Structure 1
Amino acid sequence: MQYQTKEGDALDRICWQFYGTRADMATAVALVLEANPGIAKHGPLLPAGVVLSLPDLPTPVEERGISLWD
């Protein structure tokens, strides 16, 4: 998916709006930064008109604990 920024948009807020609680925000921001080389040069607030690629997030792997009775 692609998103065109509005004046004053922040990357973490865009990630929160797009991914919501489906993701760990640190992971989401890192993946968006990776998918959009050079975007960090704009600083924390992005200018209007920047087109961002918002990648699909990997499916979280459920970690299973160890039980003495397994």
Structure 2
Amino acid sequence: MKTIRSRDGDTISNILLLGLGRNDDEAEEALFEQNPGLEQHGPVLPAGVVIFLPTMPEKAPETVVNIWD
């Protein structure tokens, strides 16, 4: 598990993208489970909030199907 500290103006979406390389519902749920009370800060975090990033498996790339294949 990785620990980070927020900078003024960070959002949960940015933290997930930068820290985990993904920003989906599964990652967001895992983040809030690891950090009870994080939601009290609202959508934009103040500076200095300690956040524990969950360990997440790599998300499999989505297969794109073209109608011509």
What TM-score, normalized by structure 2, do the two folds share? 0.75
- 2:3 is matched with 2
Across the aligned residues of Structure 1 and Structure 2, the Cα RMSD in angstroms comes to 1.7
Moved over 3 A (4+): 58-61
Q: How far off its partner does 1:39 sit?
A: 0.4
Larger Rg: 1
Q: Is the 8 A contact 2:13 2:23 kept in 1?
A: no
Letter of the aligned partner of 2:42 in structure 1? G
Identity %: 36
More helix by share: 1
Q: Provide the TM-score with structure 1 as the length reference.
A: 0.74
